[in-house]
Amino acid sequence: MRILHTSDWHLGQHFISKSRANEHKQFIQWLLSQVKENQIDAVVIAGDVFDTGSPPSYARELYNQFVVEINKLDCQLIVLGGNHDSVATLNESRQLLAYLNAQVIAHVHDNPDDQIIVLNNKQGEPGAVLCAIPFLRPRDLLQSQADQSAQDKSQALGEAISQHYQSLYNLAVKKCGELGIDLPIIATGHLTAVGVKSSESVRDIYIGSLEALPVTAFPPADYIALGHIHRPQVVSSSEHIRYSGSPIPLSFDELSSQKQVVLVEFDADKNRTVTPIDVPMFQPMQVVRGDLNGIEKQLQSLPESEQPIWLSIEVEAQDYLNDLQQRIKALTEELNVEVLLLRRARTQRQKQIQREKKETLDELNPVEVFERRLAQESFDTESDEERLLRLRESFQQIMIEVQEENDLPVYSAEKLEQKESEQRLSEPDLELDLEPEQTQEFSLDFAEEIVEVVTDSVAVTTNNTTETVTESEAKPIPDPKPKAAKKKSRVDEGLQQDDLFAFPEADS
């Protein structure tokens, strides 16, 4: 039995105003040739076949053409819904595609037996049993309970996901018994597992509730085909639990990892062989870093290409250059390149924070204090970036719990937004890849207490004297003063927690 595992196609994606239609078309043609060459029995797409819930018409056309062409190769197709996919969009053609040997599982079904699919080999015989598990939305698995803390919600969701996997695995074992054959059992998933390496283009899906699912939550399936993370990788040294990754780079930081699909083969004794197959680069892309002299040398040494090379240029400059964009344009105008992204190096972007180190605590809100502390550290490697992500998510979780437990009033965000606006206006010539930032600040009365709980050591400068508050000296968060009537929270007004507690990404 030969199965091809892929995920995160993101058909219809626009990458910094550039369409990926040509790349996706070439990838699909390449994938069909691999199906034919390797005699694949089934292809599993583990979520995010589309980039948005309302994909453009050409993306739907590519998807439908692929279903038709793979059916001609006598290959079964399984499409799972991802967090980018619309359940309604995938379901609108589900019944029609079933006649073309394609099963679409866009969401959790009321009857779990509908998510158990028998995969047949070329001879039409059962070769494996699939637990078809799409992106799991919390509302599909549990009901919200009153007075639950953020930690309780996270634990309940993790347990619900684990129970869902185990129940489907038990049904798969039962199906093997009904068939009278000891078949390999394969499970799918579209989620974040503990210990994986993410990238800039990956959207957080359980922020404020569940950070990542531990490997122990998965059942003892023979292979687990995961999607959502765009870098191909093995999870927690478990060779049978894998992310195939996206087939094309969806952000510049993904260029450091080779794109692939995964061939999984089982023999008659259920012995498993896993073989990654490298996906060609269909659009040349490159990241150029350094000072202007170094950038010029790197540009001159770029390989020849029939297609324009998409560039991300990160400039390391000691001083502010008000003609930076013009200089880069002059360096590239004779080359077959397109500069999609131009920005200053991370160290330069952090200098603004360093220049503000003399601010007193009274001038800062908890988010600003925490970011000042992070700016004192170095996050250069991929493992450092993972640590930075964990620190920010842990800080966010604590802020959520503090507000829930103490009913903290909202502190005005005008000061921070004004500073960010002034910083952006000071570099009008740069085209940055920043998403609209959302900030949430809390009562200044609780600033010291929150910071002391979150950080082991916080340096506070007051009247040119630096005092160090250590973990042992940290004071517990005081109980809030009794209130006559609880004020209506912004959550009650329709905003979600992600909107309230999404902190600015200083390095993205």
CA angle 147, 152, 153 (to 5 degrees): 85
User: 467 exposed, middle or buried (CB, 10 Å; 0-12, 13-18, 19+)?
Assistant: exposed
Q: If you search the block for the tokens 């506070």, which residue do you land on?
A: 460
Give kind and range of the element (H or E) at residue 458.
Answer: strand 457-462
* Per-domain boundaries in the chain: 2-278, 285-344, 387-500
* Domain spanning 285-344: CATH 3.30.160.720: yes
Query: For residues 383 and 8, what is the distance between their CA atoms, to the nearest angstrom?
Result: 23
pLDDT for residue 458: 38
* Domain spanning 2-278: CATH 3.40.50.300: no
Range list of H helices, 180-252: none
Residues of the chain with pLDDT under 70: 197-211, 317-321, 346-364, 376, 378, 380-383, 403-508
pLDDT for residue 382: 65
pLDDT for residue 430: 41
Query: For residues 122 and 179, what is the distance between their CA atoms, to the nearest angstrom?
Result: 18
pLDDT for residue 200: 61
pLDDT digits (tens, 9 = 90+) for 414-440: 444 444 444 444 443 444 343 433 333
pLDDT for residue 143: 78
pLDDT for residue 470: 41
pLDDT digits (tens, 9 = 90+) for 51-86: 999 999 999 999 999 999 999 999 999 999 999 999
Give the strands of the sheet with 102-105, arranged side by side.
102-105, 76-80, 42-46, 2-6, 260-266, 272-278
Query: For residues 293 and 388, what is the distance between their CA atoms, to the nearest angstrom?
Result: 31
Phi-psi region of 68 (alpha: psi -120 to 50; beta: other; left: phi over 0): alpha
Query: For residues 223 and 240, what is the distance between their CA atoms, to the nearest angstrom?
Result: 5
Query: For residues 212 and 209, what is the distance between their CA atoms, to the nearest angstrom?
Result: 9
Let me know how many helices (H) and strands (E) the chain has, helices first: 14, 19
Measured distance between the N- and C-terminal CA atoms of the chain, rounded to whole angstroms: 43
pLDDT for residue 389: 81
